[in-house]
Amino acid sequence: MVGRFKSGLLVVGAVALAAAGAETLARSTAPPGAVAYTADGRAMLPANYRDWVFLTSGLDMTYAEPAAVVTSHMFDNVFVDPAALATFRRSGRWPEGTVLVKEAREGLTKGSINKAGQFQSEAVADVELHVKDTRRFGGWAFFKIVDGKPGAIIPKTASCYSCHDEHGAVDSTFVQFYPTLAGIARARGTLK
């Protein structure tokens, strides 16, 4: 009886140790600025992404052929975590743990003193994440976050991956549209 109790304790101890080991591993490979995940693997919106580095605003960009007729307007704002950007500036490459955020906001025409042109809505339509984590995802992974709620990984069969792989100028990211980064990649020889 005592023996069984003891081995039970041993098993509990081993499980706790293994869990602690996995935890340490997860932490030691988790890069700065990284995305946190819920227990069921949903990506949480990085709380401070608005303090990251701004790369571009696209307005009404559309990728379909023939281009769809634009009836409402949409801006997208792209941000990158500063740690990843520091590596990119040195090497023209994205390190493990890179997180890029694309935030969509409606383009509005009527408001305050505006007479022409468009400005961005206060409300965020959605946020998409592009995360490089080879250990976890075997490469890059996309997530869509609506209403700030954690989002599940978008399946690898989705067109997000094929378009980005085929047309993204650096490692499946659209550096050709990020005016402060394109020149760096060109100089480092990483621009496709």
- CB of 72: closest distance to ligand HEC in angstroms? 17
The first and second tokens of residue 23, run together, are: 């935890």
Site residues (vs ligand HEC, CB under 6 A): 56, 58, 61, 63, 76, 78, 100, 102, 128-130, 142, 144, 154, 158-160, 163-164, 173-174, 177
- CB of 164: closest distance to ligand HEC in angstroms? 6
Task: Spell 4-36 as b/e; 16+ CB within 10 A means b.
Answer: eeeeeeeeeeeeeeeeeeeeeeeeeebbebbbe
Residues with Cβ within 8 Å of residue 111, at least 6 apart in sequence? 119
| Nearer residue to ligand HEC within complex by CB, 29 or 145 | 145
| Nearer residue to ligand HEC within complex by CB, 90 or 167 | 167
| Nearer residue to ligand HEC within complex by CB, 14 or 72 | 72
Q: How far apart are CA 49 and CA 96, in angstroms?
A: 18
- CB of 21: closest distance to ligand HEC in angstroms? 32
- CB of 138: closest distance to ligand HEC in angstroms? 17
Q: Which residue from 15, 12, 37, 40 is spatially nearest to 26, judged by alpha carbons?
A: 37
- CB of 5: closest distance to ligand HEC in angstroms? 52
Cβ atoms of 187 and 92 within 8 Å: the answer is yes
Count other C-beta atoms under 10 Å from residue 148's C-beta.
Answer: 12
| Nearer residue to ligand HEC within complex by CB, 56 or 121 | 56
| Nearer residue to ligand HEC within complex by CB, 17 or 163 | 163
